[in-house]
Structure 1
Amino acid sequence: MQFGIFTVGDVTTDPTNGRTPSEHERIKAMVAIALKAEEVGLDVFATGEHHNPPFVPSSPTTMLGYVAARTERLILSTSTTLITTNDPVKIAEDFAMLQHLADGRVDVMMGRGNTGPVYPWFGQDIRQGIPLAIENYALLHRLWREDVVDWEGRFRTPLQGFTATPRPLDGLPPFVWHGSIRSPEIAEQAAYYGDGFFANNIFWPKEHFQRLIELYRRRYAEYGHGTPEQAVVGLGGQVFMRRNSQDAVREFRPYFDNAPVYGHGPSLEEFTEQTPLTVGSPQEVVEKTLTFRESFGDYQRQLFLMDHAGLPLKTVLEQLDMLGEEVVPVLREEFAKGRPAHVPDGPTHAARLAARESAAATDPAATTA
Structure 2
Amino acid sequence: MELGISTFGEVTPDGVAGRAVHAHQRVQELLEEVKLADEVGLDVFAFGEHHRPDFVISAPEIFMAAAAAVTKNIKLSSSVTVLSSTDPVRTFQNFATVDLISGGRAEMIAGRGSFIESFPLFGYNLDDYDELFTEKLALLLQINQQEVVNWQGKFRAPIPNRGIYPRPYQEAIPVWLGVGGTPASAIRTGKLGLPMMIAILCSSPQQFISFVELYRESAQKAGHDVNQLQLGISSQFLVAETSAQAVDAFYPSYEALMNRVGRDRGWSPMTRHQFESLRKFGPLVVGDVQLAIDKIMEQYEMFHNTRFLAQLVTGLTPHKDVLKAIELLGTKIAPVVRKETGLSKPTE
Q: TM-score normalized by structure 2?
A: 0.89
Label 1:261 to 1:283 Cα distance change in 2 as closer, same or farther (>3 A): farther
| Counterpart-to-counterpart distance in 2, 1:248 and 1:159 | 51
Which segments of 5 or more consecutive residues in structure 2 lack a partner in the other structure?
A: 14-19, 263-267
Residue 238 (structure 2) aligns with: 240
Deviates more, 1:246-255 or 1:232-241: 246-255
| Counterpart-to-counterpart distance in 2, 1:96 and 1:85 | 19
2:225 maps to amino acid: G
- Within the candidate set 251, 275, 278, 1:268 is matched to 275
Contact 2:93–2:165 (CA under 8 A) maintained in structure 1: yes
3-state SS, counterpart of residue 84 of structure 2 = coil
3-state SS, counterpart of residue 195 of structure 1 = coil
3-state SS, counterpart of residue 85 of structure 2 = coil
Label 1:21 to 1:212 Cα distance change in 2 as closer, same or farther (>3 A): farther
| Counterpart-to-counterpart distance in 2, 1:125 and 1:116 | 10
Deviates more, 1:272-281 or 1:145-154: 272-281
| Counterpart-to-counterpart distance in 1, 2:224 and 2:39 | 35
Contact 1:307–1:313 (CA under 8 A) maintained in structure 2: no
Contact 1:33–1:317 (CA under 8 A) maintained in structure 2: yes
| Counterpart-to-counterpart distance in 2, 1:215 and 1:115 | 25
3-state SS, counterpart of residue 153 of structure 1 = coil
Label 1:257 to 1:238 Cα distance change in 2 as closer, same or farther (>3 A): same
Is 1:301 matched up with 2:307?
yes
Contact 1:199–1:213 (CA under 8 A) maintained in structure 2: no
| Counterpart-to-counterpart distance in 1, 2:101 and 2:89 | 19
| Offset at residue 299 of structure 1 (A) | 1.8
Residue 299 (structure 2) aligns with: 292
Residue 265 (structure 2) aligns with: none
| Counterpart-to-counterpart distance in 2, 1:214 and 1:179 | 16
Label 1:249 to 1:146 Cα distance change in 2 as closer, same or farther (>3 A): closer
2:302 maps to amino acid: S
- Within the candidate set 233, 247, 257, 1:249 is matched to 247
Contact 1:306–1:319 (CA under 8 A) maintained in structure 2: no
3-state SS, counterpart of residue 169 of structure 1 = coil
| Offset at residue 325 of structure 1 (A) | 1.8
Residue 316 (structure 1) aligns with: 322
Residue 357 (structure 1) aligns with: none
Alignment deviations for residues 8-28 of structure 1 (CA, whole Å, 9 cap, x no partner):
111149xxxxxx970111111
Aligned residues: 333
Question: What is the percent sequence identity of the aligned residues?
Answer: 32
| Counterpart-to-counterpart distance in 1, 2:236 and 2:113 | 19
| Counterpart-to-counterpart distance in 2, 1:12 and 1:112 | 25
1:313 maps to amino acid: H
Alignment deviations for residues 322-365 of structure 1 (CA, whole Å, 9 cap, x no partner):
222211111111111xx7xxxxx88x8x99xxxxxxxxxxxxxx
Output aligned runs, 1:1-369, within 5 Å. 1-12=1-12, 22-170=22-170, 172-227=171-226, 229-259=227-257, 260-261=260-261, 264-266=269-271, 267-296=274-303, 298-336=304-342
3-state SS, counterpart of residue 305 of structure 2 = coil
Alignment deviations for residues 35-56 of structure 1 (CA, whole Å, 9 cap, x no partner):
0101111110000011221111
| Offset at residue 80 of structure 1 (A) | 0.3
Contact 2:249–2:317 (CA under 8 A) maintained in structure 1: no
Contact 1:240–1:280 (CA under 8 A) maintained in structure 2: yes
| Counterpart-to-counterpart distance in 1, 2:51 and 2:209 | 30
Contact 1:201–1:236 (CA under 8 A) maintained in structure 2: yes
2:335 maps to amino acid: P
Contact 2:104–2:168 (CA under 8 A) maintained in structure 1: no
2:128 maps to amino acid: Q
| Counterpart-to-counterpart distance in 1, 2:53 and 2:100 | 31
Deviates more, 1:133-142 or 1:182-191: 182-191
| Counterpart-to-counterpart distance in 2, 1:328 and 1:318 | 14
| Offset at residue 275 of structure 1 (A) | 2.6
3-state SS, counterpart of residue 69 of structure 1 = helix
Which segments of 5 or more consecutive residues in structure 1 lack a partner in the other structure?
A: 14-19, 340-344, 352-369
| Offset at residue 133 of structure 1 (A) | 1.0
3-state SS, counterpart of residue 218 of structure 1 = helix
| Counterpart-to-counterpart distance in 2, 1:117 and 1:254 | 25
Contact 1:238–1:276 (CA under 8 A) maintained in structure 2: yes
| Offset at residue 168 of structure 1 (A) | 2.9
3-state SS, counterpart of residue 212 of structure 2 = helix
Q: TM-score normalized by structure 1?
A: 0.84
